[in-house]
Structure 1
Amino acid sequence: MATSIPPAQPDANPVAKPYYPPYVGGGSQLTNAGYGGEPLNVIISGTSSSQVLTNDGIVNYARAIGFSTEFLGIHLGAPQLANLGDGNGWAPQVVELRQDYGCVAIGTGIETLIGGNHFRIWRQNGSSANSGALFLAVSQEEDVEQGHNIVPDGYNIGRNKLMAAAVGVHEYGGVVYTTAAEQIPGLLPAGAAGVNHGIAQDGVVVLLTVLAHPKPSCWLLAWFTRAVSWPWQLKHT
């Protein structure tokens, strides 16, 4: 749900790096799905507000932009591995989040049935490249009858839909988020080589910087309004 930006200062992390390129540390911008990899085509910057980069924080942010955890905790398919070049080697995904179609409670169950956008998350926090950034493998998938295969051009489609949903101002669970996006060249080779299902992608990686603000309470807003207007009322009585 979109809302206005409150005046509070966001909890940003000014000393962090946005990310370290995985290939520098011997990692890969493709996951290991056992039969090809999925592009890590979105990064949530390590300079984002620190609360966004936690496990609970990223789930709350995801719910603000139309995604949630898997319905009843049921996961179809094997978890994937990724090597972010941070010294952790091939590590399992932290969580998988699915489009919730506007309903946090049951919407991801709908996505499981009819398909939609989804993403897997890895955290870059090893000793050799500890940015804290979150690397996302985003894709648009088909319905359950099609085995949740990726739709044609599904990696580009999924990334673009996630970016469109994220950019701007959104709120969930008492937190207001402002998100900016930029494209990163040179991290991911374009094409279908090594890519799961042989689906070509354009090589674009999107970097999201997410700042979190506490949502102002109604009583605080009312108090502020009265405090500002009181001197004017005294002057004109």
Structure 2
Amino acid sequence: MHSLSFLLLALPATLALHVPRQAVDFFDPRQNGGSMLDDTGNGLGEPLNVIISGLSSSEVLSEEGIVNYAKAIGFSEECLGIHLGDPQSANLGDGNGPVNQTIELRQDYGDPDLGTCLESLIGGNHFRVFIQNGPQQPTGALFLAVSQEEDVTQGHTITPDGYNIGRDLLVANALGDTSFNGVNYHTVGRNITGLLPVGTQGVNHGEC
């Protein structure tokens, strides 16, 4: 795993920018007892390798908003609304302690209605969403655990280098101008180093 996260600033071009809460990109969870790894329930975690800035439009920084934004960049809700497996949790250092993921979204292969059923079968990219909205650091930023996974016959394990691959594919889809359901988005981003350690210590599946 590289010590690299990616920060996205997403603005719907058809909506006014409402700078939420603390008017900062995000708060480093490690500064208040949190972690840049989520908790998979087995003592290991997956890297929170993409952050949607708290300076993004408030229309993006909600469960409904991230779902529409996700559909604009090639992801959608899980197949027929069915989620298999236990949710993962994360401590974002915002005063809420460990909190379960808000939602999990999967690559839709060009079909936002049924495409995630294909992803469940053959694998692909997916991400979990955690919202930094606790009483101590209510930035509104969305922390994403993004990874590329194998097909169902491999138990949806992470592909080799799947955390980096998943992050880079999501970012490539997100940057620039996208749209869905009448909402046009403009997204810019930048690399952030130092939030995640180099190596696989503590990382689920032992992948980089």
Partner of 1:187 in structure 2?
Answer: 195
The Cα of 1:116 is off from its aligned counterpart by 0.2
User: Counterpart of 1:197 in 2: which secondary structure?
Assistant: helix
Using structure 1 for the length normalisation, give the TM-score: 0.80
Partner of 2:5 in structure 1?
Answer: none
Match of 1:140 among 148, 159, 162: 148
Partner of 1:172 in structure 2?
Answer: 180
For the residues of structure 2 that align with 1:7 and 1:42, how far apart are their CA atoms?
A: 21
Q: 1:70-89 counterparts in 2 under 5 A?
A: 70-89=78-97
The alignment status of 1:11 with 2:36, answered yes or no, reads no
More helix by share: 1
For the residues of structure 2 that align with 1:65 and 1:47, how far apart are their CA atoms?
A: 19
Partner of 2:137 in structure 1?
Answer: 129
The Cα of 1:6 is off from its aligned counterpart by 9.9
Deviations 1:50-92 (A, max 9, x none): 1000111110000000000001111122100100000100100
The Cα of 1:189 is off from its aligned counterpart by 0.8
For the residues of structure 2 that align with 1:48 and 1:7, how far apart are their CA atoms?
A: 11
Match of 1:160 among 162, 168, 171: 168
What letter matches 2:79 in structure 1? F
User: Counterpart of 1:138 in 2: which secondary structure?
Assistant: strand
Q: Which ranges of 4 or more aligned residues in structure 1 deviate by more than 3 Å?
A: 5-10
The alignment status of 1:31 with 2:38, answered yes or no, reads yes
Match of 1:111 among 100, 106, 119: 119
For the residues of structure 2 that align with 1:85 and 1:191, how far apart are their CA atoms?
A: 23
The Cα of 1:190 is off from its aligned counterpart by 1.4
User: Counterpart of 1:177 in 2: which secondary structure?
Assistant: strand
Q: Is the 8 A contact 2:13 2:183 kept in 1?
A: no
User: Counterpart of 1:187 in 2: which secondary structure?
Assistant: coil
Q: 1:34 to 1:182 in 2, by over 3 A?
A: same
Q: 1:107 to 1:8 in 2, by over 3 A?
A: closer
What letter matches 1:184 in structure 2? I
User: Counterpart of 1:150 in 2: which secondary structure?
Assistant: coil
Q: Is the 8 A contact 2:102 2:129 kept in 1?
A: yes
Partner of 2:3 in structure 1?
Answer: none
The Cα of 1:8 is off from its aligned counterpart by 6.0
Q: RMSD over aligned Cα, in angstroms?
A: 1.6
Q: 1:143 to 1:7 in 2, by over 3 A?
A: closer
What letter matches 2:155 in structure 1? G
Q: Which runs of 5+ in 2 are unaligned?
A: 1-10
**Greater length-normalized contact order (CA 8 Å, ≥ 6 residues apart):** 2
The Cα of 1:185 is off from its aligned counterpart by 1.4
Seq. identity, %: 60
The alignment status of 1:46 with 2:54, answered yes or no, reads yes
Q: Which runs of 5+ in 1 are unaligned?
A: 201-237
User: Counterpart of 1:145 in 2: which secondary structure?
Assistant: helix
What letter matches 1:18 in structure 2? D
User: Counterpart of 1:53 in 2: which secondary structure?
Assistant: coil
The Cα of 1:10 is off from its aligned counterpart by 3.7
For the residues of structure 1 that align with 2:190 and 2:111, how far apart are their CA atoms?
A: 29
User: Counterpart of 2:60 in 1: which secondary structure?
Assistant: helix
The alignment status of 1:93 with 2:104, answered yes or no, reads no
